[in-house]
Amino acid sequence: MKPLWKEAGLTQKEYDLLLQHLGREPNPTETALYGVMWSEHCGYKNTRPLFKNFPTTGPRILQGPGENAGIVDIDDDQVITFKVESHNHPSAIAPFQGAATGVGGIIRDILAMGAKPIGVLNSLHFATPKGKGHTKWLISEVIRGIGDYGNCIGIPTIGGEVRFAETYRGNPLVNAMCVGLMNKSEIQTASAEGPGNSLMIVGNLTGRDGIGGASFASKELDETNQEDRGAVQVGDPFMEKLLIDACLEVFAKDFVVGVQDMGAAGIISSTSETASKAGNGVEIDVSLVPTREAGMSPAEIMISESQERMLLIVKQGREDEVNAIFHKWDLHAVVIGNVTNDGFLRVKEGDVTVAEIPAASLTDAPIICRVGKVPDYLSKTQSFDESSVSLPDDMNATLQKLVSSPNIASRRWVYRQYDHMVQTNTVVRPGGNTGVLRIKGTQKAVTFSTDANGRYCYLNPKEGSKIVIAEAARNHIASGALPIAVTDGLNFGNPEKPEIFYQLEQSILGISEACRVLDTPIISGNASLYNETPDQGAIYPTPVIGMAGLIKNVEHITTKPFKRAGDVVFQVGDFSNEIGASEYLEVIHGKISGDVPKIELALEKRTQDFVLNAIQKSIINSATDIGDGGLAIALTECLYETKFGASIEIPESSYRLDALLFGEAQSRFLLSVAPDNMKTFQSYAEQSNIPISKLGIVNSSGNLRVRYQGESVIEQDVTTLESMNEATFPEMMR
């Protein structure tokens, strides 16, 4: 029989450290509390040393990592707060509830900052479904869970992404992002200030659902995980809607000095974190906690992850007023303890003390310093020779295959299940470069996106991660927004394996370098490790980048589709001969190989600044970045949902034709410019020392015609391409 500390997921070294903190043997309740708080999911034991590389400050950053979410100044005394978090393991075994409660949890993180949630996004990664099997069911349930929760709660889903790779078959990734808006004066913090102030649990009842969720998320998935269904929380979006409204009303009354969401590890996490942050202690009586099940032990009550609950630190003497507001909303608001000045987290059951622990020790999980090893596969993949791949005989057929491939096909089937117009602030709907929300009563808008590319990060963890940041920023630039900050969701395999730790470390270094150069500090985030299964092994290293941008004048909002016949089409940036790591190489040639495209961050920054300035000078009619599938795919996407066609001439080059059409060379945009503005645009590019290529003209033909060296290489009816692009997802899910 395992000793209790092993059952709780602690190692021998960790148990020895626990003994030092307590100066005695822990009882079973104390052991359980340390087990969840020192899990990887709560304690970030493997990642905390690496987080020091992140740039986290800047002139707009009011709150960086360390709170429930980061905060960014958007001028006029207004701020936005946002964060991304994963719910991968729960979604793998109970996809509807796993995805739904992932949305609910990230919404509460934003609420805990004092903000009204104004939008949610997601980043979903699956294997391509085969037949009517498990994967198809999983995809459908995840999307239904996200849609049901967000739709019921009345928060628009304004953007996101869905990507496919075989590596996610056993371990899908479900990352949710939420954004909130408030005035500076409304900011709340997660700190248990003021000895004598009350701890109030508000919202839902506490049950046995979600017990052990943090520990479950800190181990690999295998065939035994069906036994962990009880570790998956159960969501109630209608309760959450009431909780949001009640909390915002209470916050407006200045009754509260601290707020914390009850997410991973529930009461023990929220109380110990707020106490240690303030340098105080707390005393809790679990017999006062409203429960939905009889006979719950103190440990079960303390670590339950039942949803729709918050911890409020309420000013002494204001408890009845807080209770009255929550009672009006038909919610519980119960005093379960108080702040103390002795630094201990003390848990009582009536008159009996069942746990007494230094609060700060719970939130200071022991750090594990690991050393990475370059994975063996990289020597093979990076020796890829582009000359070993022959040119396709038919570029028309190649384009058709790409537009209908799972990673490029339209996601309309997905986002039609989400309400993206509720709250009536959505300016650009899902499917554009970014989600765009206007700020009512101002000329401002804010942009949000989620971006990832696991294949890039697998083939070159550091450079691939740089590209993910750069592409995210290009999406905001193409929307007319200045990129201002980042939240990251780090999804990786088992860090105890040196090759996986190498991926994690290199990815963080790449993200950090790109964020410094592009001036997008990291203000919040989440690390989800142990994403692997015995059959599939580890997932691709998949850092998900949630980015925010600011548009100071809504007249500068720019979208992807071409706007009128006669406009001139330009590529900003240079072509290259690179096809390694591309969507084209995988879809057309069946190879996941090669190095990622080269990226020069200084050039990337100059290019982005040039395009944004051109948009703000009102000389750009449409814009998109050139990413997956290269120039040819960008052209098709600019023609969808229009009546237009385009006549394009690829400049003479020594490069491969497939690289010119489908290569993913970096630092590129596809723009359209009115003829009257063409010379101004060209002159501005020359002054800025930015390479541009005039490609052709938008016309009314409804056809995409691409010529190279005097010959037609692509001639396609746009309606046909769009139909193929739209059909893939519905057919895949039929």
Give residue 733's identity as a one-letter amino acid code: M
Clarify whether 589 is annotated catalytic. no
Give residue 487's identity as a one-letter amino acid code: T
- Which contiguous run of DSSP H or E holds residue 443? none
Q: Which residues pair with 648 in a beta bridge?
A: 696, 706
Q: How far is CA 142 from CA 103, 228, 485, 527, in A?
A: 11, 18, 28, 20
Those residues with Cβ within 8 angstroms of residue 393's Cβ, 6 or more apart along the chain or in another chain: none
Report phi then psi at 118, rounded to 5.
-120, -5
Using CA atoms, how far apart are residues 96 and 619, in angstroms rounded to an integer?
A: 46
Q: Exactly one of 41, 89, 125, 420 is catalytic; which is it?
A: 41
Task: Tell me which residue has tokens 């209908």.
Answer: 404
Q: Exactly one of 87, 89, 125, 556 is catalytic; which is it?
A: 87
- Which contiguous run of DSSP H or E holds residue 84? strand 78-86
Those residues with Cβ within 8 angstroms of residue 540's Cβ, 6 or more apart along the chain or in another chain: 165, 167, 168, 454, 455, 457, 458
Using CA atoms, how far apart are residues 168 and 455, in angstroms rounded to an integer?
A: 11
Using CA atoms, how far apart are residues 405 and 416, in angstroms rounded to an integer?
A: 20
Contact 259, 188 (CB under 8 A): yes
Q: Which residues pair with 258 in a beta bridge?
A: 313
- Closest-CA residue to 494 (of 653, 635, 372, 391): 372
- Closest-CA residue to 548 (of 459, 592, 488): 488
Q: How far is CA 343 from CA 97, 286, 315, 394, 460, in A?
A: 37, 19, 19, 72, 46
Positions of E strands within 586-702 = 622-625, 645-650, 669-673, 692-699
- Give the pair of three-digit tokens for residue 447: 């942009």
Using CA atoms, how far apart are residues 206 and 48, in angstroms rounded to an integer?
A: 31
DSSP assignment string, 48-97: HHHHTTS----TTEEE-BTBSSEEEE-STTEEEEEEEEE-HHHHHHSHHH
Cβ burial of 4 (10 Å; 0-12, 13-18, 19+) is: middle
Contact 435, 448 (CB under 8 A): yes
Clarify whether 41 is annotated catalytic. yes
Q: Which residues pair with 179 in a beta bridge?
A: 82, 119
- Among positive and negative, which fits the CA dihedral 671, 484, 115, 269? positive
- Give the pair of three-digit tokens for residue 658: 């497939």
Using CA atoms, how far apart are residues 697 and 674, in angstroms rounded to an integer?
A: 10
Give residue 168's identity as a one-letter amino acid code: Y
* Catalytic positions: 41, 87
